[in-house]
Amino acid sequence: MKKVSSLKLGIIALTMVVMVACGNQEGAGSETSSDAQQQAAADTTVTTGSEDTTPAADEAAATVAVDEALVEEILSQFDNKTPSTTVTLSVAITELFNDLGLSLEGVPTTQSELPAAYQDVQKVGSSHQPDLEMIASLTPDAVLAPESIKDSINKMLEPSGLKGAYLPVDSLDGLKASLVAIGRLYGKEAEAEQVLSSFAEQESEILKSVEGKEAPSVMFLFGSTDYLMLMNEDTFAGSLARNLGATNVLTDTMQSTETYVPFNMESVVEANPDVILLVAHGDAEAVAKKFEEDVKKNGAWEKMNAFKNGKMKTLDYNLFGVASLSKTPDAYQALSSVLYGE
């Protein structure tokens, strides 16, 4: 256990104040250090809030960290041309389009809830198994998919002559950068700034609420009864826990640089996290039960901090199963309660 760094929270607060005073949008992206956040804040200049440029108006504006280099990298895929027809293969990307009030010609087939605005839009198959014939019939200028599955999607799209573009939407920083990039690409900069400004205000309040509290070490598990993976800070749930001050044992104790690592019981016991959190596909209760049984078979479970503390929890898949900027405030609250609740 360690103290949530007052310095870190102070820097976050200072960053917010600096950005508010300047009326700028900072760039932090996937970088985790406060120094990087401050440097990026000085390097990026996306204005948020009212067009009123008086000092009072600047103080009222709220801003949020975005990795400017990542935004430019995303935009470089489009050769300075705005797609006139777009298909998405991701719930997360579809939600970003909804946040900006943009239309789509095709959206993914999914069990997750899509925004009501796209209820009648053509479904084009899942993100991993898109219906290429259906997509081609829509003659899209761009097919947008998560960067994390770029290789597999690209292999399917290219033979069909379909133009794919890939957005980093698996983490909070990736969602922010993708929103800004979409806003610029489709002429919705003001809408993107408004969304991020509102989000920054909510995020700031949540981070303040954990200031000075004892921060736990945490282990994230992702998967089903058939397989489990460990997740680091570059994932959606992992990035929220990091911002709340928790340390991720996959990064800090196990010294892994991989985003996902196959589950290994010996590694779990050795890392001995204060909290174990499960993001389960399908029957979450069955996944949690199987995991607990496997831990007990190891014989060391009763010595693990997470079990002694009653801190082996299954997270709500609706909040943590799919990265979502619009649901992040609720996810923050739920995660804060688990990490710091009595």
pLDDT digits over 111-157, tens only? 888 999 999 999 999 988 999 999 999 999 999 999 999 999 999 99
Do residues 219 and 275 lie in contact, with contact meaning Cβ atoms separated by under 8 Å? Answer: yes
- Please state the rounded mean pLDDT for residues 235-263: 91
pTM: 0.76
Q: Per DSSP, which regions of the chain are E strands?
A: 2-3, 86-88, 106-107, 122-123, 142-146, 164-167, 214-215, 217-223, 228-231, 247-248, 260-262, 275-280, 312-314
Q: What is the pLDDT of residue 40?
A: 31
More confident residue, 91 or 255: 91
- Distance (Å, rounded) from C-alpha 183 to C-alpha 28? 18
State yes or no: pLDDT of 50 exceeds 50: no
pLDDT exceeds 90 at position 265:
no
Mean pLDDT of 267-285: 86
Q: Please provide the average confidence, as pLDDT, over all residues in the chain.
A: 81
Location of structure tokens 């009653």: 310
Q: What is d(CA 11, CA 26) in angstroms, rounded to the nearest whole number?
A: 13
CA distances from 257 to 31, 147, 220, 320 (A): 14, 18, 15, 21
Contact 220, 241 (CB under 8 A): yes
Q: Are 263 and 196 in contact (CB under 8 A)?
A: no
| Interatomic CA distance for residues 84 and 135, integer angstroms | 15
pLDDT band at 90 (very low <50, low <70, confident <90, very high): very high
pLDDT band at 220 (very low <50, low <70, confident <90, very high): very high
DSSP 8-state code for residue 158 = G
pLDDT level of residue 24 (50, 70, 90 thresholds): very low
